[in-house]
Amino acid sequence: MRRSPRENAQSAGKITRRGLLLGGTQIGLMGILALRMRYLQVEQADQFRLLAEENRINIRLIPPARGQVYDRNGRVVAENAPSYRITMVREDVGDVELVIRRLSALIELDEESLNRAIKEMRERRGDRVVTVADRVSWEDISKVAVNAPALPGVTPEVGLSRNYPYGPDFAHVVGYVGPVSDYDLSKLENPDQLLLTPRFQIGKVGLESKREDVLRGSAGIKRVEVNAVGRVMRELDRREGQTGANMQITVDAELQNYVQARLGEQSAAAVVIDCDTGDLLSIASSPTFDPNLFVRGISVADYKGLTENKYRPLASKTVQGLYPPGSTFKMLVALAALEDGVVTPEDTFNCRGFIEVSGRKFHCWKRGGHGNVDLHRSLRESCDVYYYELAQLVGIEKISAMARRFGIGQRFDVPMSAIARGRAPTKDWKLQKFGEEWVIGDSINAAIGQGFVLASPLQLAVMTARLATGRAVMPRLIKSVNNVETPTGRGEDMGINQNHLRQIRKAMVAVSNNKRGTAFRSRIVEDAFRMAGKTGTSQVRNITAAERRTGVVRNRDLPWERRDHALFVDFAPFDNPKIAVAVVVEHGGGGSTAAAPIARDITLQALYGDAPPLSAYPKRDRNRIKAQQKRIRTENPMPPRDRSDRA
């Protein structure tokens, strides 16, 4: 059937409209595509270029060199040594097991380290660098480099590792570093990305830990080009970080070496402080340990040996150890009484060997008593009864207040681990601690440095320096940071009556130089270096009335842990104090026999700066001292001094 002209015109119109609509739609879509292409190719070109670059370029952190630590004379006591290691990146490796097999065929891999590395690769992000082998030889590095095409994702690297040339001598002072642990990271809210670097080392204890912020430095950045399998092709650019600050401490390495050797394997501690500046010239705890073992990864057997040693080599007894100060506390009790005006230096008390208070006997160390005793004799011969009497007159509040003025019960700001506060007890302290009232017996025990009184060797050294100078000497361990000197601890005048201080010092001189003095056998005979000192013996067990009737058991007949602690403090020269010394020998017995000889030897070594002449010792000691000096030089030689040492 033929269409009419009208129908044909209508049909042609519809086709034209559809064509126009379709054409318009096509043109619109092409316009949108053109605009989108322009947007992507022109306006977003930089962003896509960057994304493409990121597939080809990696940004990696450059660990900074840790600041070095020097002694007061410029000897390096903590340094950075080159260390070679093999690292892997899981994403770049592909087949981890295959690559490890190939690597094992080239170099010897420690099974424990390898298992730890595999665990790290499983637990961490795939782009993290993991150390497979640490402290490998240069030959091993060369083998890996030569076989690089067969080891995708494996990189031989040269890094820095901490080394302690003096080993055990500075273990408790400088401390040591170790790899960042999960525990370390858990303590930080937003850990520095640098801490996620494989086997990155941070300070764990001692100065290394306390001044981590200064010693660590800040990371640098490098951009490297990698190929399709992730192998580094070339380094594009690098921005170096900031090296950690170098630090100089006040300790004298030679003196520290001698003090550690003189303490030997006893459970003991010694502190030497400069009376003028407060510089800690030596701060030694014995027995000690080699901190390099921890840096390199200490074995289970070695660690067990340290933790199970009853002498506690891991503890720094100089600042962590708290001991009843015994008779070394008597100078402070005497000063409290003198300053309060309840006694004069000439007042006497009668010592019959004991005093009875509230139906209880408090004994003097001398069973038969000392007779009439004044201040001078009470210190010279260490009469206990004299101080029992003073305690009743002056009271615990004033005794403890004087003790705090001299550093007992004060936590000093020294960058070492776990510094203990010690204790100068008061009535309120006992009530809060035990819910009990203070009794007169507590004051009597405190008067001879027993009972609730506790002090560290560092506090005893500070106390002695303050007695010697009359100034509030403060201990200083850091001498300078990047050659910028830190403030000294000279301290201001304490406001103590100078005549009272002279009386105390005069009596301390007699302790070491009068034939009746408790430390006369350990005196210094060189006139220029004569010392003033005080012995101390603190009990760690109660002596029963029955034992006193039958005879007190001698220390040497008791188990080690039940023997008395031995203490001695001194300053020298007595007429121009340069140094103060405190020595504590745990369970050593009597202060005059165990601690005083050590303190005397340390004092002479510090004053002479080298092995003192035998003429400085009493004649009867000279042969023994000569043999002792030879043994110490032979068994504890100083590390050779590197000419590059500088603070």
Enumerate the active-site residues. 327
**Contact predicate 541/565, CB 8 Å:** no
Instruction: Return all residues near 437 (Cβ < 8 A) that are at least 6 apart.
Output: 427, 430, 431
Ramachandran quadrant class, 153 (left: phi over 0; alpha: psi -120 to 50; beta: rest): left
CA distance 96 to 80: 32
- Give Cα separations from 143 to 106, 117, 140, 147, 149 (angstroms): 7, 20, 5, 6, 12
Lay out the sheet containing 232-239: strands in order across.
57-62, 220-226, 232-239
Dump strand ranges (E) for 57-175. Answer: 57-62, 69-70, 76-89, 129-136, 154-163
Strands 354-357 and 360-363: antiparallel
d(CA 396, CA 387): 12
Angle between helix axes 96-106 and 111-123 (nearest 10 degrees) is: 160
Residue 487 CB contacts under 8 Å (≥ 6 apart), including other chains: 476
Sign of CA dihedral 596, 600, 605, 606: positive
Closest of 193, 292, 217, 240 to residue 65, by C-alpha? 217
- Phi, psi at residue 266, to the nearest 5°? -65, 155
Determine how many CB atoms are found less than 10 A away from the CB of residue 304: 11
Check residue 150 and report its DSSP letter: G
Cα distances (angstroms) measured from residue 289 to each of 170, 294, 300, 407: 9, 10, 15, 29
Please choose, from the candidates 549, 546, 590, 543, the residue with its C-alpha nearest in 3D space to the C-alpha of residue 568: 590
Measured from the Cβ of residue 92, the count of other Cβ atoms closer than 10 Å reads 21
Q: How far apart are CA 518 and CA 570, in angstroms?
A: 13
Q: How many CB atoms lie within 10 A of CB 308?
A: 7
Q: Classify 319 as helix, strand or coil.
A: helix
Report the alpha-carbon distance of residue 346 to residue 487 in Å, rounded: 41
Query: Tokens representing 129?
Result: 């660098």
- Three-class DSSP category at 442: helix
Both tokens of 97, joined, read 């097991």
List, in sequence order, the alpha helices (H) in 352-425.
Answer: 375-380, 384-394, 396-405
State yes or no: cis peptide before 198, omega within 30 of 0. Answer: no
Q: Is the dihedral of CA 458, 460, 462, 468 positive or negative?
A: negative
Separation of alpha carbons 231 and 169, rounded Å: 45
Structure-token match 């080394």, residue found: 163
Tokens coding 536:
């101390």
323 and 565 in contact (C-beta within 8 Å)? yes
The beta strands (E) that lie in 491-616 are given as 532-538, 565-572, 579-585
